[in-house]
Amino acid sequence: MQKSNKSIAGYHLLMILSSVDGEFAPEEGMLVQQYLADEFPFRMNLDNELETLALLQPEEWKDHFEFHARCFHDDSTEEEREKFVQFAKSLIKADNVVTDEEHLYYKLLKNLWNIN
């Protein structure tokens, strides 16, 4: 898999976080849109990224998530990672239900980035 830049990696992380519970809630979609607007002030075609995500099987999500967490880590500061983790937390809480799967991936992200 080709290394992604921070913004693309963040998109993959958020999309997986919002999908691991088996439901992509509208509230989660709004937060992903907010992330895209903040990270890509210019028009960005993410069709290839979305296709890559759509083709992933659930058993491939964890490896894909870990890969993009490393990509994000490589291109970010500690402050940016902490801010992203807070944003990820708001994403998994957006539909007022945090599933075990969402919590597992959230904790995985924090562990990969050594954030307490």
Say if residues 38 and 103 touch (Cβ distance below 8 Å).
Answer: no
pLDDT at position 4, please? 92
Give the model confidence (pLDDT) of 56-78 as tens digits: 999 999 999 999 999 999 999 99
Give the model confidence (pLDDT) of 11-38 as tens digits: 999 999 999 988 888 999 999 999 999 9
> Domain spans of the chain?
6-112
Residues in the chain: 116
* Confidence band, pLDDT 50/70/90 cuts, at residue 45: confident
DSSP letter for 51, please: H
Residue 17 exposed, middle or buried by CB count within 10 Å (0-12, 13-18, 19+): buried
Among 10, 91, 96, 107, smallest CA distance to 53 is for 10
